[in-house]
Amino acid sequence: MIVTIDGPAGAGKSTIAKLLAAKLGFRFLDTGAMYRAVTLAALRRGVPCQDATGWAELAKQLEIRFLDQRVLLDGEDVTDPIRASQVTAHIRYAADNPQVREHLVKLQQEIGRRGDMVTEGRDQGTVAFPHAECKIFLTASPEERARRRVRDLQQRGERPSFDEVLAQQMQRDRRDSCRAVGPLVQAPDAIEVDTDSMAIDEVVERLVEIVVTRRHAGLGEPGYKKLQEAAVSPRDDDAQELCLH
């Protein structure tokens, strides 16, 4: 079974997808890490940002692997370097490149053929796995996502301004949604889960319910609609903040 989790930056996709996969005993795929790994390699090798063909050729030569929650690029553990702000600042040269996307989507589909998996990104339910059995669109208000990002940066010893973080995030949202290939859009058959004022455990529990129901219910259209209605109304008990790593 393939479970796709798409949504904007700061919605909690990685944290939630990892926990969900662990609970279900599924593999977990962080597709953002693949775009990050290509970007890191291109920057290290000095491939010019405007050389779209060069970026695509390089992407095809790289070996990107996931091992015990670590990301390996040609055998080197790059889990931390791919999160550097210099990589984030250049990631659009990989993410907006149709040939890079085509190659990475193929790799994602190959990984998906190996069995049960939770995969997270922007285009997993729309482009990579349009026939996935369970699709989630994880979201939260822009302000809440920016608050989480500020807390995350503060925990790393930075002193970010909320307004700046919000502005950068809106720019990233726009870029993700307006991308010509593989834009961030909610698949028509994805269930939207708004994580505003939900604790991590609550979100995971909700998603487990959705996955289990999708797997066992043998859903017809009315059952699916019902499930969708049930899934989108957030609970207000025990509300805690969602912390991102």
Q: Does 112 help bind ligand DC (rule: CB under 6 A)?
A: no
Q: Interacting stretch for ligand DC, rule CB under 6 A, among 29-37, 45-53, 149-157, 215-223?
A: 29-37
Q: Which of 7, 8, 32, 125 binds ligand DC (CB under 6 A)?
A: 32
Cα 237 from chain centroid (whole Å): 27
Q: Which of 12, 24, 26, 122 binds ligand DC (CB under 6 A)?
A: 122
> By CB under 6 A, what part of segment 176-195 binds ligand DC?
176, 182
Separation between Cα atoms, residue 71 and residue 54, nearest integer Å: 23
Q: Does 95 help bind ligand DC (rule: CB under 6 A)?
A: yes
φ and ψ at 234, to 5 degrees?
-70, 145
Strand blocks (E) in 98-168: 117-121, 134-139
- Is 136:190 a contact under the CB 8 Å cutoff? yes
Q: Which is nearer to ligand DC, 23 or 83 (CB)?
A: 83
Q: Which of 8, 12, 112, 121 binds ligand DC (CB under 6 A)?
A: 121
Angle formed at CA 20 by CA 17 and CA 22, multiple of 5 degrees: 110
Q: Does 123 help bind ligand DC (rule: CB under 6 A)?
A: yes
Amino acid at residue number 235: R
Q: Does 73 help bind ligand DC (rule: CB under 6 A)?
A: no
- Is 160:154 a contact under the CB 8 Å cutoff? yes
List interacting residues with ligand DC (CB under 6 A): 9, 31-32, 35-36, 91, 95, 121-123, 176, 182
